[in-house]
Structure 1
Amino acid sequence: MATAAEAVAMRRAVALAARGLGFTSPNPVVGCVILDATGASAGEGYHQQAGGPHAEVHALRAAGEKARGGTAVVTLEPCNHTGRTGPCAQALLDAGIARVVYAVDDPTPDATGGAATLRAAGVDVEPGLLAEEAETVNAAWLTSVRTGRPHVTWKYAATLDGRIAAADGSSRWISSAASRADVHRLRAECDAVVVGSGTQRADDPHLAVRGALLSDGADGADGVVQPLRVVVDTHGTAVRPGARVLDDAAPTLVAVAEGVEPLPGVDTVHLPYADQHADAAHLPYVERVPRAAGNGTDASAPSGRSGQQGADDEEDRLEHRFTASGGAYRAQRRPAAPAERPAPTGTPGGLDIDALLAELHARGVRSVLLEGGPTLAGAFVAAGAVDRVIGYLAPTLLGAGPAALSGGGITTLTEALRLDVRECVALGPDLRITATVAGPGTKEH
């Protein structure tokens, strides 16, 4: 049974893990605290970036010889195989750790088994301490591993009577400056930001992270990893030359229906309508775009997957996000023989959300921030593809205007999507409510 000191250490490890949000994808966020043989804190660390040392390595370095005979408290089961760095289980053994307490089992087949290795070597291992807290901070990575699609957070801002705009369409600004700054924090923590054609036409959004608005005041060009900007532009009519999402602040992907002519020079993916099925031709492959010369990095193409903290250092082959050093890994479409795409017939609905998420997952996206309007939000809800909802409620009444959610495949109260409220926080005059779906992307009936 875990001690009180170990519980305190695990809460600290969870807080440390959160520091990696936005920097470690496609790998997990992990925190670790080393207690010496007397139970006192001797060192701590967290996984700071994909490809860098694991949390256990940072903590062991900080603890030094005090780790011998001590306890490692870590948010995720120590990994058990070699990638760019050695297995954490072996690092703990080499340091003389006598006991390991961890929160969540590693669900990846390649990296699991660290606990068994430690036990076989005589180390006392206890799993499950504060598992819910550790699952919450690592929800994006765990969802992507368990479901094979990115974790989706739907964010919206509304009045207390649930309106996202007035009857005349005006909406700037319903939420406060504090709430809008918090949205930039959410963007910085996610791999992709998604909007629909309605939002694109109405707002011409930029969707990049403005670092000056982050709580720590970080400069957007120095350290902030920009998300992939995704516009679901079914008919290819919303994103036009000169749109703000087409600048060089962050990469952009436009999703359109089959038969739609892409905008020249814009990364575009053709997806089926919701009532159709994607075939193998829609699966992407990935190649690396060389980084800017002179930054000291190898511009050769990655050759495969290697292990890192249970996520195999997938950034070796997958990376869409710009970094402060310049350049990026960019997902590319597999060249295909020229062919006439059939034009859409009838009046189909929107694009297939499952196909969109599969495309993003194949591009290395593990977390999505959905900032679209009520129609796109309804499509995600109808597809069972919303895991978390964050609502910014302003102390304002409008009486008329569009609601935050439209459709969603819900026609009666018994079909309502039931949520668990996790947090309520005041942001200036607004209230931020965070809620999660009872099961990943599912409805309760």
Structure 2
Amino acid sequence: MTATDREQGAMRRALALAARGPRGVNPQVGAVILSPAGDVLAEGWHRGAGTAHAEVDALSHLPEGAARGATAVVTLEPCNHTGRTGPCVQALIAAGAARVVYAVDDPNSVASGGAARLRAAGVEVVGGVLAGDAAALLDSWLTVQRLGRPHVTVKWAQSLDGRAAAPDGTSRWITGAAARADVHRRRAAADAIVAGIGTVLADDPALTARRDDGTLYDHQPLPVVLGRRRIPADAAVLRHPHGVLHRDGENLGGESPNHPSVLDELRSLGVHRVFVEGGPTIASAFLRAGLVDEVLAYVAPTLIGRGADGADRPALGPLGVETIADRRRLAVTGLERLGDDLLIVATPRSVEAPAAPGSTTEGEH
């Protein structure tokens, strides 16, 4: 069973409607209701947690009985779960929909199963229509469902010999302007940026995403500072447009609950992508805990070495590697020249995505 040309056109419209919804804890979903003749009867989209789902929103624009025999075109498999709102499959069945066309399966074990329930009720169901386009729209949300937590990128800048700073602690600037601009573009694509309190005290970063001219990108990541020490009252991060989330981060070993709890809290706030850049301690802690999905290493063609007194500022701290057999293997997924610097993009080979818990979306799709 395949989708008709009109249904594919309606799916493109549904995807455009979905993009109007907010990105956050819940997915962006759009819906179009077609008459048996293929004409558009109603449209809808999900406007955020606690509001009507896309299918119900579309049906709400129709008088009672107007959807009987109609086709519902939806970007995500209709949910089969009662949370803050009722299950969309029941609303479609009650409205008399004869056919449902959707793009991607719902990965949530609690909310999924909508297609099977519709078929059991005698509704024709076609899945996978423009699935690639829908997956691209829902990329970050689907990643959270797959991992059971936000996607984590760890970034650092280093000299060719692996130092993040000179022996006296100075580090501005190891890399050049092109590399720094690339970092800010990536910050702007993240939902949260994480730094350690040590970095805040030493460098006073604003943790904002800025253009080359110093103006702020429209989207700013939520700044998160980890560490027990107090943030100074005049710290730049306290002037961030989103405020700052300050959490305990002193003891962040591989078995520490601190990082998972921080990620859980960020996920509950609708954070999908976390950008970690804030010193060797924090970067190493995330790596030790196996919570890193992507590594960005900006390498400058410069040498620093140790100080005359033995002082050393490596880009990473202890990773729990005592023998070569325990080394952390990476798969290089990208190499990019940025001015005189080199960006290495890599994925830890040891990271395996856990199955997402069923309560991922709190009943919202």
TM-score > 0.5 by shorter chain: yes
Distance 1:437 1:12 in 2: 38
The answer for the alignment partner of 2:27 in structure 1 is: 28
- Offset of 1:377 from its aligned partner? 1.8
- Offset of 1:19 from its aligned partner? 5.9
Pairs within 5 Å for 1:255-334: 255-256=247-248, 273-274=252-253
Distance 1:46 1:118 in 2: 20
Is 2:255 aligned against 1:252?
no
User: What is the identity, as a one-letter code, of the residue corresponding to 1:369?
Assistant: F
Pairs within 5 Å for 1:344-355: 352-355=258-261
The answer for the alignment partner of 1:123 in structure 2 is: 123
User: What is the identity, as a one-letter code, of the residue corresponding to 2:97?
Assistant: G
Is 2:281 aligned against 1:398?
no
| Residue from 235, 240, 243 that aligns with 2:235 | 243
Is 2:90 aligned against 1:98?
no
User: What is the identity, as a one-letter code, of the residue corresponding to 1:174?
Assistant: G
Pairs within 5 Å for 1:72-151: 72-74=73-75, 76-93=76-93, 94=95, 96=97, 98-109=99-110, 111-128=111-128, 134=134, 137-138=137-138, 140-142=140-142, 144-145=144-145, 148=148, 150-151=149-150
Percent sequence identity over aligned pairs: 39
Q: What is the aligned-residue RMSD (CA, Å)?
A: 4.9
Is 2:51 aligned against 1:49?
no
Uncovered stretches (5+) of structure 1, i.e. residues with no partner: 219-223, 258-270, 279-351
Distance 1:126 1:355 in 2: 39
Distance 1:8 1:420 in 2: 39
Distance 1:136 1:440 in 2: 21
* Pair 1:32–1:407, CA change in 2 (3 A): farther
Distance 2:338 2:43 in 1: 31
* Pair 1:83–1:247, CA change in 2 (3 A): same
Q: TM-score, normalised by structure 1?
A: 0.56
- Count of matched residue pairs: 334
CA contact (8 A) 2:195 2:224 kept: yes
The answer for the alignment partner of 2:193 in structure 1 is: 193
Pairs within 5 Å for 1:425-436: none
Distance 1:33 1:430 in 2: 48
CA contact (8 A) 1:155 1:370 kept: yes
CA contact (8 A) 1:178 1:427 kept: no
CA contact (8 A) 1:152 1:370 kept: no
CA contact (8 A) 1:36 1:42 kept: yes
| Residue from 167, 171, 174 that aligns with 2:173 | 171
Distance 1:15 1:432 in 2: 34
Distance 1:36 1:141 in 2: 31
Distance 2:330 2:297 in 1: 18
* Pair 1:376–1:11, CA change in 2 (3 A): farther
Distance 2:344 2:130 in 1: 23
Distance 2:77 2:86 in 1: 15
CA contact (8 A) 1:165 1:174 kept: no
The answer for the alignment partner of 2:224 in structure 1 is: 230
What are the Cα deviations for residues 135-163 of structure 1, in whole angstroms up to 9, with x where unaligned? 56545544555655x31321536489597
Uncovered stretches (5+) of structure 2, i.e. residues with no partner: 306-312, 355-365
What are the Cα deviations for residues 180-230 of structure 1, in whole angstroms up to 9, with x where unaligned? 55235324xx2x32111343133312235679643xxx5xxxxx6x65432
User: What is the identity, as a one-letter code, of the residue corresponding to 2:204?
Assistant: D
The answer for the alignment partner of 1:312 in structure 2 is: none
User: What is the identity, as a one-letter code, of the residue corresponding to 1:153?
Assistant: V
Distance 2:237 2:259 in 1: 21
What are the Cα deviations for residues 37-74 of structure 1, in whole angstroms up to 9, with x where unaligned? 57788876653433344333566679997996435141
CA contact (8 A) 2:151 2:274 kept: yes
| Residue from 272, 293, 300 that aligns with 1:387 | 293
- Offset of 1:242 from its aligned partner? 1.6
* Pair 1:208–1:412, CA change in 2 (3 A): same
CA contact (8 A) 2:159 2:174 kept: no
User: What is the identity, as a one-letter code, of the residue corresponding to 2:286?
Assistant: F
Distance 2:331 2:251 in 1: 30
* Pair 1:140–1:197, CA change in 2 (3 A): same
CA contact (8 A) 1:143 1:440 kept: no
* Pair 1:181–1:113, CA change in 2 (3 A): same
User: What is the identity, as a one-letter code, of the residue corresponding to 1:231?
Assistant: V
- Offset of 1:380 from its aligned partner? 0.8
SS at match of 2:118: helix
Q: TM-score, normalised by structure 2?
A: 0.66
CA contact (8 A) 1:380 1:408 kept: no
SS at match of 2:189: helix
SS at match of 2:119: helix
Pairs within 5 Å for 1:196-215: 196-208=196-208, 213-214=216-217
* Pair 1:358–1:129, CA change in 2 (3 A): same
CA contact (8 A) 1:194 1:371 kept: yes
CA contact (8 A) 2:153 2:275 kept: yes
CA contact (8 A) 2:150 2:263 kept: no
- Offset of 1:383 from its aligned partner? 0.8
User: What is the identity, as a one-letter code, of the residue corresponding to 2:205?
Assistant: P
* Pair 1:8–1:256, CA change in 2 (3 A): same
Distance 1:155 1:171 in 2: 19
Distance 1:426 1:95 in 2: 57
CA contact (8 A) 2:175 2:341 kept: no
* Pair 1:49–1:400, CA change in 2 (3 A): farther
